[in-house]
Structure 1
Amino acid sequence: MKPAEAKPPHMDHDTFRSLGHQAIDWIADYWQHLADRPVAPLVEPGTVRAQLPTTPPEYGEDFPALLSDLERIVLPGLLHWQHPRFFGYFPANASGPAVLAELLSAGLGVQGMNWNTSPACTEVEQQMLDWFVHLLGLPEHFRGGGVIQDTASSAVLVALLTALHRASAGRTRDHGTGECGYRVYLTAETHSAARKAAVITGLGLRAVCEVATDADGAMDAADLAARIQADLAAGLTPLMVVATRGTTSDLSFDPLEDIGPVCRRHGVWLHVDAAYAGVAAVCDELHWVNDGVRYADSYCTNPHKWLLTNFDCDLLWVADPEALVNALSVLPAYLRNPASESGRVTDYRHWQVPLGRRFRALKLWSVLRWYGAEGLRSHIRTGVRHARLFADLVREDDRFTLLAPATLGLVTFRHAGSDTDNRNLLHAINAEGTTFLTHSEKNGTFFLRFATGGTHTEDHHVHEAWRAVQNAVQNAVPRAQHATDGTADALNG
């Protein structure tokens, strides 16, 4: 039914101001009381959709009605990534200054595809990427070669496209990859985004060569060298090595000091994925996470994981920006302009897959201005300390074993029972609702992952998570398995 008094077609400025205050208040209340909510949703598939109307509204509704439905329908169906007891995947930090800057960016509505479409959008981004070269102790040759991507998945895709352009002397731009026989080297621990990039570029999974790893899951540089030599002998073209500094499963670190010379010797593009771990290098004592990056042709890390900058914000650097631009540049007449043709500006649309781009640098700038470098270091150090605290609690209970010492913000551990017992334990922990963990497998062994780094996480939340683990043991693991049965000793050996 049509309302008696229809609203104006657009929200006027005074109404926007008033409702904007309500929205900010709603977010602040959400954050303030988030610890009182279950971390994970306890809903069945289809539950949320069943509460939504089957047809869209014919006439507009008041914004407070949306906030009401957000509370009633949406929140019970969310995994609360900002919850102080979210210890599952790597963190996806949000913070006040980042969210406020995201709002400002949305309000500005900038399209930063070319320098001339908003010069400030481009130049602030350039400065932020150069600031991070300094903050992370990256090689100086990365200055001027940085760009914000949405995710590390896009970063590896852009890097692979650039490597293809370089290796083919530009032929793939016109003729595609065809039956070129290119090879991309990675390990079983490499993020799946690298394999997906091979598919998207048309190389296909047949181009992927899986390199052996050592006992810690790090790439074996000797095996890499042998595989490259074998491929060359077979008439194939070694194209790219995707090395990881901090794998998703259990934070393995590929040895760039050994891999880099192999790549240099054979002219193979080296892409370094440090999506989670790289930002930890803001701390002097954690500079080691970027050891060997001087060999990288491209490198990426994600402030949207552990550095208080809400999703999405991936930082990508390339040592040869000209190769990247040549690989991705397509110039229709309607995008030509005097500034671009002068050669004095950067047009970031050539540095990514999509044309349009948001003003992501604004939230990065806001975070850096609010926290400062020392505030960022403090946040990283808190996450590291929380991981060590949890690892100490695990170590003191002989029913559990650590698979490795706590590394950065990650603890990998398991109960002394069977894999089935550990699967049941994880389910019981998450079903209880107060804590959320995830799992992985290594060498056929199932284990639990405890990842710290949340914006609002404090010491007592770590202790509460450990109590949730202990409580779950009583319900999920057969009593005979509550004591060590030798499995822990075998894993530690």
Structure 2
Amino acid sequence: MSPDEFRRAGYAVIDWIADYWATVEQRRVTPADPPGTVASALPTAPPTVGGEPVEAVLADLDSIVVPGLTHWQHPGFFGYFPANTSGPSILGDLVSSGLGVQGMLWATSPACTELETVLMDWLAHLLDLPRRFHSTGSGGGAIQDSASSATLVATLAALHRASRGRWRENGIDRRYRAYTSTHGHSSIEKAARIAGLGADGVRPIDVDPDSQALLPAALRAAIEADLAAGDIPAIVVATIGTTSTTAIDPVPEIGAICAEYGIWLHIDAAYAGSAAVCPELRWSHAGLEYADSYCFDPHKWLLTGFDCDAFWVADRAELVEALTVLPEFLRNAATESGAVIDYRDWQVPLGRRFRALKLWFVLRWYGVEGLRAHIRSGVALAARFAEQVRADDRFDVVAAHPFSLVCFRLRADDDTNAALLAEVNGSGRVHLTHTRVSGRYTLRLAVGAPQTTEAHIDEAWRLLSAAADNLPTP
């Protein structure tokens, strides 16, 4: 593809994306076709001879691929957590793809590293993170692909500290333990498995039945029981904004316990970290001064396309010591000088994309106040929906909603609530998901798509109310 061919095809693709955004609201949020529909419409082998025009590829996108998508940017998409993207993010990602640089070392692309370092300091300032997370001190930040990778990296660094370096040389030589609430993300267990702790290496800690947040007394009891058994507590993962209900673990109390026992504290704020751009929501981040590492996902609620996780450590030397491997073919004068950051030492893979560009584009396009307006809009829309739920005596709001997720259910049995969710999602106009709160089937409505307005919130409530009218009384 020559530069001129690329230019022509690129214009066509940008036009296609713009048209998709302009029409996404008219589509079903989720496809109605059965499994295998897309696969059966595709050829069984790639073309032998290339040269198909981009128009032919875009035509197949329209006729085959798009009808089989769940449209995460749809204003009626209220499932899971938002996975925002935006024009500036896409343009930054396009530049990253076009440059095609490899940012594993400072020497392999100095600007790739230095822009990311400065950008992570911008974000730390924007969220009012403790000074020790800034690169101007002992810490610093790096962009991971997801919070799952951030948790894994934090776990490996914690094991290195807990074993006093023996983990790096000898592997798992003792039984090490990780701790998180029963609502902690599944990636915590996966990180423990990958790190060699085994599935039973994670201690699930009970939560308060009202707040759904981790109970510090239960954490202390679990730590003391493990110490008595000769096990080594390595890491506690506290969550700000759990996936089920956006519960906020009591980080100040958890942090004090970790400091007392010398345990690594990682804070997973994958979804709710974006809220800290708003000063009035920073109360949710109390206690971060205790954290050894912290992460959040701009690709969830901060208008930055997947994948982009912002991860910080308070002591970058510990992380680098745990993860660095330097073969001869990567040796270079800049690394040997100790004057540069090599982000390959901050992650599991060697290679890394220039992810900072899309975040840089987003921050420059929207500015601080634009990002705050986006977060505040989501919080306000969720509050509007919660008010509608509370006004109907058939429903209950079953958990606090400090951010943009509302958990609710019919005052009925689990099967009836599941039927309600299926009926509403079957409309194709909205998509919600579910969880269990105190063992009961609970519906979740998560706001975050940039195009969502009050009209879409009101439509979701009308659909839920009408579906509830049609359900048989248990």
Question: TM-score over 0.5 for the alignment?
Answer: yes
In 1, are the aligned partners of 2:104 and 2:350 still within 8 Å (CA)? yes
Letter in 2 for 1:82: Q
Q: Residue 214 in 1 paired to residue 208 in 2?
A: yes
In 2, are the aligned partners of 1:40 and 1:80 still within 8 Å (CA)? yes
Match of 1:489 in 2: none
Give the distance between the partners of 1:392 and 1:160, measured in 2 at CA: 40
Match of 2:100 in 1: 109
Give the distance between the partners of 1:391 and 1:327, measured in 2 at CA: 46
Match of 2:458 in 1: 463
Structure-to-structure mapping, 1:177-256, within 5 angstroms? 177-178=172-173, 180-215=174-209, 216-256=211-251
The structure 1 residue matched to 2:149, chosen from 151, 154, 166, is: 154
Alpha-carbon offset, residue 407 of structure 1: 2.2
Give the distance between the partners of 2:320 and 2:98, measured in 1 at CA: 30
Q: Residue 71 in 1 paired to residue 62 in 2?
A: yes
Match of 1:491 in 2: none
Give the distance between the partners of 2:348 and 2:226, measured in 1 at CA: 30
TM norm structure 1: 0.94
Structure-to-structure mapping, 1:310-349, within 5 angstroms? 310-349=305-344
The structure 1 residue matched to 2:90, chosen from 92, 99, 118, is: 99
Match of 2:272 in 1: 277
Give the distance between the partners of 2:105 and 2:386, measured in 1 at CA: 48
Residue 115 of structure 1 aligns to a residue whose secondary structure is: coil
Cα deviation per residue 1:177-225 (whole Å; 9 max; x = unaligned)?
A: 14x1111111210000000000001111121112121112211111111
Alpha-carbon offset, residue 55 of structure 1: 1.3
The structure 2 residue matched to 1:429, chosen from 424, 432, 441, is: 424
In 2, are the aligned partners of 1:391 and 1:405 still within 8 Å (CA)? no
Match of 2:302 in 1: 307
Residue 55 of structure 2 aligns to a residue whose secondary structure is: helix
Residue 117 of structure 1 aligns to a residue whose secondary structure is: coil
Alpha-carbon offset, residue 140 of structure 1: 0.3
Alpha-carbon offset, residue 474 of structure 1: 3.7
Give the distance between the partners of 2:412 and 2:326, measured in 1 at CA: 61
Please, which moves more after superposition, 220-229 or 327-336? 220-229
Give the distance between the partners of 1:91 and 1:309, measured in 2 at CA: 11
Give the distance between the partners of 1:399 and 1:405, measured in 2 at CA: 18
Give the distance between the partners of 1:417 and 1:169, measured in 2 at CA: 53
Give the distance between the partners of 1:289 and 1:454, measured in 2 at CA: 22
Q: Residue 384 in 1 paired to residue 379 in 2?
A: yes
Residue 72 of structure 1 aligns to a residue whose secondary structure is: helix
Residue 470 of structure 1 aligns to a residue whose secondary structure is: helix
Letter in 2 for 1:40: T
Structure 1: tracts of 5 or more residues without a match:
1-10, 482-493
Cα deviation per residue 1:50-79 (whole Å; 9 max; x = unaligned)?
A: 111111110112211110111111111111
Q: Residue 367 in 1 paired to residue 362 in 2?
A: yes
Cα deviation per residue 1:361-385 (whole Å; 9 max; x = unaligned)?
A: 0011100000000000000000000
Alpha-carbon offset, residue 404 of structure 1: 2.7
Match of 1:288 in 2: 283
Give the distance between the partners of 1:234 and 1:396, measured in 2 at CA: 52
Letter in 1 for 2:68: G
Q: Residue 16 in 1 paired to residue 10 in 2?
A: no
Cα deviation per residue 1:380-423 (whole Å; 9 max; x = unaligned)?
A: 00000000111111112222111134321011111122111110
Letter in 2 for 1:143: H
Per the alignment, do residues 63 and 382 of structure 1 end up closer, same or farther by CA in structure 2, a change over 3 Å counting?
Answer: same
Per the alignment, do residues 405 and 322 of structure 1 end up closer, same or farther by CA in structure 2, a change over 3 Å counting?
Answer: closer
Match of 1:57 in 2: 47
Residue 390 of structure 1 aligns to a residue whose secondary structure is: helix
The structure 2 residue matched to 1:33, chosen from 23, 27, 31, is: 23
Match of 2:130 in 1: 139
Give the distance between the partners of 2:182 and 2:157, measured in 1 at CA: 24
Match of 1:7 in 2: none
Give the distance between the partners of 1:71 and 1:130, measured in 2 at CA: 41
Give the distance between the partners of 2:206 and 2:77, measured in 1 at CA: 33
Cα deviation per residue 1:109-138 (whole Å; 9 max; x = unaligned)?
A: 010000011101000100111011110010
Cα deviation per residue 1:254-288 (whole Å; 9 max; x = unaligned)?
A: 10111111100100000110000011011010011
Q: Residue 397 in 1 paired to residue 387 in 2?
A: no
Alpha-carbon offset, residue 233 of structure 1: 1.4
Please, which moves more after superposition, 301-310 or 394-403? 394-403
Residue 366 of structure 1 aligns to a residue whose secondary structure is: helix
Structure 2: tracts of 5 or more residues without a match:
none
Per the alignment, do residues 405 and 227 of structure 1 end up closer, same or farther by CA in structure 2, a change over 3 Å counting?
Answer: closer
Give the distance between the partners of 1:364 and 1:232, measured in 2 at CA: 43
Alpha-carbon offset, residue 172 of structure 1: 1.3
In 2, are the aligned partners of 1:401 and 1:414 still within 8 Å (CA)? yes
The structure 2 residue matched to 1:126, chosen from 112, 117, 126, is: 117
Give the distance between the partners of 2:460 and 2:49, measured in 1 at CA: 46
Letter in 1 for 2:366: Y
Please, which moves more after superposition, 192-201 or 213-222? 213-222
Give the distance between the partners of 2:283 and 2:401, measured in 1 at CA: 15
| Count of paired positions | 468
CA RMSD of aligned residues (A): 1.0
Q: Residue 42 in 1 paired to residue 32 in 2?
A: yes
Residue 415 of structure 2 aligns to a residue whose secondary structure is: helix
Match of 1:473 in 2: 468
Please, which moves more after superposition, 220-229 or 261-270? 220-229
Give the distance between the partners of 2:300 and 2:37, measured in 1 at CA: 29
Cα deviation per residue 1:33-55 (whole Å; 9 max; x = unaligned)?
A: 11000001112111111111111
Q: Which runs of 4+ in 1 moved over 3 A?
A: none
